[in-house]
Amino acid sequence: MPDQRRTIEHDRLEQDEHRQTYWKRWGPYLSERQWGTVREDYSAYGDCWNYFPHDHARSRAYRWGEDGLLGICDTKARLCFAIALWNHRDPILKERLFGLTGPEGNHGEDVKECYFYVDSTPTHSYLKGLYKYPQSEFPYAWIVEENRRRSRHQPEFELADTGVFDQDRYFDVQVEYAKASPNDILICITIKNRADVAAPLDVLPTLWFRNTWSWNRSGEGYAPKPELWQTAPGAVSAEHEQLGKMTLYAEGEPELLFTDNETNAERLFGVASRSPYRKDAFHDYLIRGARDAVNPAKRGTKAAAHYRLVVPPSAEVTLRLRLVADAEAPAAPFGPDFDATFAARLREADDFHDSVAPENTSAEERAVLRQAYAGLLWSKQFYHYAVGEWIEGDPPLFPPESRRHGRNAEWRHVYNRDVISMPDKWEYPWYAAWDLAFHMIPFARIDPAFTKDQLVLFLREWYMHPNGQLPAYEFAFGDVNPPVHAWAAWRVYKIAARRGERDRAFLERVFQKLLLNFTWWVNRKDEDGNSLFSGGFLGLDNIGVFDRSRALPTGGRLEQADGTAWMAFFCGTMLSMALELAHDDPVYEDMATKFFGRFIAIVDAMNEFGGTGLWDEQDGFYYDHLNVDGRAMPLRTRSMVGVIPLFAVEVLEDDTLSRLPGFRKRMLWFLENRRDLARHIAHLEGRQGRRLLAVPSRERLERALRYVLDESELLSPYGVRSLSRHHLQHPYSLWANGELYTVAYTPGDSDTGLFGGNSNWRGPVWFPLNFLLVEALERYHHFYGDTLRVECPTGSGRFMTLDEVAGELSRRLGALFLPREDGSRPCHGPDPRFASDPHWRDLVLFSEYFHGDDGRGVGASHQTGWTALAARFIEGSAQRRRAPE
């Protein structure tokens, strides 16, 4: 990508990076779901969904975080702001998003709301979000009952299916934030009545402190109890030991309500509460009419500005607020500077996103890019989880003894209290290590400093296990995710290097820690020391015949094509990093030699161990092998498991090797003297001064790509499927211990209960592995050039170079989000609103994965974590449309 044109937002990023001006102190770091998480679970059996359900959320103070609706908070979530709504029909105040728990949904947990991340700059100097709020009663019970009734073979029952948006009987609630300075946040809430009749709406912009004072602890993060109080009509002062004094100004002098962010113990547990004013006071005040629920002294730790509205038909109402440090408070909070600041920040946001988009992107492409980056930025979340304290409990209340030997008991060192890039702030309001690696690729285009900080953070001693393992995700830190952290760090380094910024300190810092991680993999996952790895489920959930995270029902072990290929991929990346570092320090030549030798050993094992390794000569594809009593049997499911071996490819430039004589000498010795291991390595001289390290030979690469590019197999109209469509008519079956295990092509929602049933790798298109495939094809092309052309699609008679194939895959993946001639976008499925309704058609959802045949979004609806890679595909396609250079 070409260098970006510098904008005012780039200046802010630089000021924040160098701690000159803390522009990122406030942002959309507030979670969308704190209830139902592992952090808040103090049950005996780890039943987080039932221990802290949605029904408790309005009444129960959280221990580790907060949640809200389109809200913001500071980087430690000490002071939070969000909106609450009531349409005069709902049984509860709408303070947070609603969704199904894992056991309730017929396909696992799922948010049941319509909301969109519309815009954001990297410093959050400008933010815009949209929530669609029905005017009829929100169908909480109906959604739960209907989804519980449905089987895994039926679709999910969505909010729109209930008819609550019919006849446009809903409000568009748009929330915008603009920063006049890092501690001066202007807030604009615009309520648009889409119906042709007037409708009542109570709006409660709410300010509150996260409860850090009720746990009988002291030290970092446990400041004395802060306080909010009314200082003037429409003005709420907030004082915190660490944040200082701030004031929330609400235009129009609405009624100010105060309570405490304390648990309503009477309602939940039948015992006395700590305070007579509880977390759910505003709900009781509005809906139950309990006038004594709020504090008449106008003090507390939670406050709201209560606006009672009747919005005329097809009209809109705007509410303005301002949260500002007292030292910067303007004389007139809503004077002319308010609108001028909003206008300026919006222009600057336009300018920034224009500078990011390639010059020849269309207007539709630019709109999708902007929303993809907005979703990525809105998905940053404050995440707090100190495992040692969580296991011990808070005196005098202690969790059951089982806690000391249960979930994450071996990860007591973990202390997370950071803003982290999340996969999805509702369905996955916790980090996943391999997801985060993919998030960093689009992030590197818009905020390189944040990207590098995130990658370093996960290698810190309070994240990484002393044995070298990276924490996977809060349900089980010890689970095994694919080792892609090194790749992400290397890619981020190279993205910065293209701009002339070779951050050697960053690269060296991550390389040293990744050595520990690599050693963990070798020691723990290569059971027989034969370079064939059994990594577990490796993030691919239900893709295999068995649940690969559990003991096999057959006994024995699984030699995984993907686990082994991931290690080759890891080796190749570490080799490239070592060669880069060796330019300035010859000590790294030794490490380069180590990883070169390991790469060759793994490639040889994949291709030759036991005769043919994990390669199946009959089919021309890589498969997992089930090894029982010394006999290996291939599990012939054509899936991403067999595509991942194609990812492990690196191209070594001769001019690089010529500057590293020590490594070059040892490499040539190895190739000459260990021909038994090097037989599958392409080490051709004279191929434009390059050498290729790859798992498949040229012939095996071509054979595997026949399946990848076959539309009746892995190639869908919108990318490469996770499982071949061949298995629709030909399911793979295996009898083991009297049970039949079957893998069949399932292009949409999962029809099995593996991993909760909300993640399906048996047919849909997933962005992260498609991205790695496109990158690998580009590297193969860099070596083979125009000498290697393959049929794409298979059987079409049309031959392409591998670079052209990469471009075709990028085009298909990007097309998921772009409107077709009828205005519909494949990602939205058949919902006509997104095709023709002017209030829906420009809004884009970036789902967790996509139907293998029709492209509709499936799984988590807002996973603009790794699905933000869509931006890279669209940008890449735009670059490819440029005239050849």
* pLDDT at residue 884 is higher than 60: no
Distance CA 626, CA 554 (A): 9
Tokens 């002294």 locate to: 297
Mean pLDDT over 181-197 rounds to: 98
CB-based contact 848:858 (threshold 8 Å): yes
Mean pLDDT over 623-638 rounds to: 90
What does the pLDDT read at residue 756? 76
Q: Which residues contact 668 (CB under 8 A, 6 or more apart)?
A: none
Mean pLDDT over 86-108 rounds to: 96
* pLDDT at residue 609 is higher than 80: no
What does the pLDDT read at residue 398? 83
Mean pLDDT over 526-538 rounds to: 77
What does the pLDDT read at residue 686? 43
Counting residues of the chain whose pLDDT is more than 70, the rounded percentage is 98
Tokens 């946040």 locate to: 185
Mean pLDDT over 828-840 rounds to: 96
Tokens of 881: 């449309």
Confidence band (pLDDT; 50, 70, 90) for 76? very high
Confidence band (pLDDT; 50, 70, 90) for 685? very low
What does the pLDDT read at residue 684? 45
Q: Which of 65, 63, 70, 107 minimizes the C-alpha distance to 85?
A: 70
Considering only CA atoms, give the Rg of the chain.
28
Confidence band (pLDDT; 50, 70, 90) for 885? very low
Give the residue with greater pLDDT, 526 vs 466: 466
* pLDDT at residue 683 is higher than 50: no
Tokens 């995700």 locate to: 473
Q: Which residues contact 483 (CB under 8 A, 6 or more apart)?
A: 517, 518, 521, 566, 567, 569, 570
Q: What is the pLDDT of residues 19-71, one digit of tens each?
A: 999 999 999 999 999 999 999 999 988 999 999 999 999 999 999 999 999 99
Please count the residues of the chain.
Answer: 885
What does the pLDDT read at residue 6? 93
- Give me the helices (H) in 709-766, please: 726-729
* pLDDT at residue 610 is higher than 90: no
In 3-state terms, what secondary structure has residue 158?
coil
Q: Is the dihedral of CA 555, 559, 561, 564 positive or negative?
A: positive
* pLDDT at residue 790 is higher than 70: yes
CB-based contact 413:61 (threshold 8 Å): no
Confidence band (pLDDT; 50, 70, 90) for 681? low
Distance CA 203, CA 180 (A): 24
Distance CA 459, CA 772 (A): 22
Confidence band (pLDDT; 50, 70, 90) for 236? very high
Tokens of 194: 């889409």
In 3-state terms, what secondary structure has residue 387?
helix
Strands 621-622 and 739-743: unpaired
* pLDDT at residue 500 is higher than 80: no
Distance CA 540, CA 748 (A): 15
Tokens of 410: 């071996």
Average pLDDT, the chain: 94
Give the residue with greater pLDDT, 755 vs 423: 423
Give the residue with greater pLDDT, 165 vs 526: 165
Whole-prediction pTM? 0.96
Counting residues of the chain whose pLDDT is more than 90, the rounded percentage is 83
CB-based contact 731:810 (threshold 8 Å): no
* pLDDT at residue 880 is higher than 70: yes
Distance CA 74, CA 183 (A): 10
How many other C-beta atoms are found inside a 10 Å radius of the C-beta of residue 316?
Answer: 14
Q: Which of 787, 817, 596, 766 minimizes the C-alpha distance to 701?
A: 787
* pLDDT at residue 688 is higher than 70: yes
Burial of 47 (C-beta count, 10 Å sphere; 0-12/13-18/19+): exposed
